[in-house]
Structure formats: structure tokens, C-alpha cells
Amino acid sequence: MKILLVAATYQEIEPFIKKYAPKFNADELLKVGKHDIKIMITGVGMVATAYALGKTLAQENFDLALNVGIAGSFYRNIKLGQLVEVREDILSELGAEDDEEFISLEQLEMGEVEFRASEKIFLKDNLRKVTAITVNTVHGNEDSIEEIRDRINPTIETMEGAAFFYACEEAQVEALQIRCISNYVEKRNRENWNLVLAVNNLNEWLINNLKNI
């Protein structure tokens, strides 16, 4: 398969890049097992992700796009460093406020806010399947966390996932998303984040499993 491997930052997939592409060049096609892999670093957030994917997917065909990165978990029964597969991802901020109520873009009948992973290509290993939200502002306030739990009850959050699924759906490219938990969604405390563990586990998974998809 020809696979587009998509991450927001170089750091999130640095160990994988160092193993397979020590002289990293974004135009290069890497051979990993039987697959041809192209790596795309989009930059953090939905705008950067949608632009980068829109541009590339209009010019080149892929059998699969795989979004990988770190994420925050709303649930403490998911361990820091645990891998999850996002099956559904929601643009939770897209809509309108009506005083205390939030009206989603879908409720406004102005577009979709929920996007899903590929129903055709499946991973062989059994990662926990989760619902994610994609945000511009990382939750770090107890009231806003309670509000989003009441409204959507997501399992994890990222800053790119739903934009990634959206761009792939528009370009009719099969899409999967794997995240490794670096932190819990809580009142902001960067000291509680374990980026090293999350990046190491994510890259170990990539190195061991990408060839088997």
C-alpha cells in the first residue's frame, strides 16, 4: 500500500524518522515492509492540518492516510503512554452559543461535525477504540472540562484529528488515527504531561506495526 503518515510535529515521530529516514526529506518514499510511506509534518492544529492535507491529497493518490500523535485523555482508566485508535472524531467547538446552550453546526443544519475512521482498512492489533474531540484550545479549566463531558463525553482530545478525517473524507482516502496518551485533560499542569513516554510508545508501535497493516 502507499501510505501517507501524518503527524503534527517532527518530534512526535522523530524515532521512526531516525530509523527509516536518517536524512529526512518530505518528498521521499520510504520502504517499510511491503508499503511505500510518505511522511507529512503538518504543524499543530486544524488549520495547518487541513491545508497540508488538502494540498497533498489533491496532487497525489494514497491507499491510506495514517494520523499519529500524542493526545490528552478525559479518563484515568487509560494509562499515560497507552495507545488508542480513534474511530470517531468531533469538531466540538464548531457551532454557536445560545446563552448557556451550545448549538453544533450540525444542529444548525450548516454542515457536519462528526467524522469517522476507515471502515475498509483495519488494524491487526487490538487497541482500545475511542471517540475523540478536536479542539483549537486545549482544555485546562475545570468548568469547561465538565461542560464538554456533559455535552459530548469524549474519551480523548487532540488538536488535529477531526480535520485529518475531514480532509481524507473529502479526498476519498481511507483514514486511520492512532494516538498515544501524554496527559490527562485537567486543570492545566504541564508538569503532569509525560511526552517522552508517549512519544516512545507511539514510535515503538509504529516501528513494530506499520509494516503489518
Using CB under 6 A, which of the segments 50-58, 98-106, 111-119, 156-164 binds ligand LNDFFVEH?
156-164
Nearest to ligand LNDFFVEH of 13, 35 (CB atom): 13
Of the ranges 26-34, 77-85, 93-101, 151-159, which one interacts with ligand LNDFFVEH (CB under 6 A)?
A: 151-159
Q: Does 49 bind ligand LNDFFVEH (CB under 6 A)?
A: no
Exposure of 164 by Cβ count < 10 A (0-12 exposed, 13-18 middle, 19+ buried)? buried
Say which amino acid occupies 4: L
Beta bridge partners of 3: 37, 64
Measured from the CB atom, is 158 or 201 closer to ligand LNDFFVEH? 158
Residues 65-103 as b/e (b if ≥16 CB within 10 A, e otherwise) read bbbbbbbbbbeeebebbbbbbbbbbbbbbbbeeeeeebe
Place of cell 510511506: 37
The reply on whether position 138 binds ligand LNDFFVEH by CB under 6 A is yes
Contacts (CB under 6 A) with ligand LNDFFVEH, residues 109-128 = none
In angstroms, rounded to a whole number, what is the distance separating the alpha carbons of residues 104 and 96? 6
Quickly tell me which residue has 512519544 as its cell: 199
| Beta carbon of residue 98, minimum distance to ligand LNDFFVEH (angstroms, whole number) | 26
CA angle 15, 18, 22 (to 5 degrees): 170
CA pair distance 3, 111, nearest whole angstrom: 29
Q: How far is the CB of 112 from ligand LNDFFVEH (least distance, A)?
A: 21
Number of residues that bind ligand LNDFFVEH (CB under 6 A): 17
Q: Which of 20, 56, 69, 74 binds ligand LNDFFVEH (CB under 6 A)?
A: 69
Question: Is residue 72 a contact point for ligand LNDFFVEH (CB under 6 A)?
Answer: yes
Let me know the angle formed at the C-alpha of 190 by 116 and 154, rounded to the nearest 5 degrees. Answer: 25
What is the closest distance, in whole angstroms, from the C-beta atom of residue 188 to ligand LNDFFVEH in the complex? 6
Query: Which residues of this chain interact with ligand LNDFFVEH, rule CB under 6 A?
Result: 8, 44, 69-72, 135, 138, 157-160, 182-183, 185, 188, 190
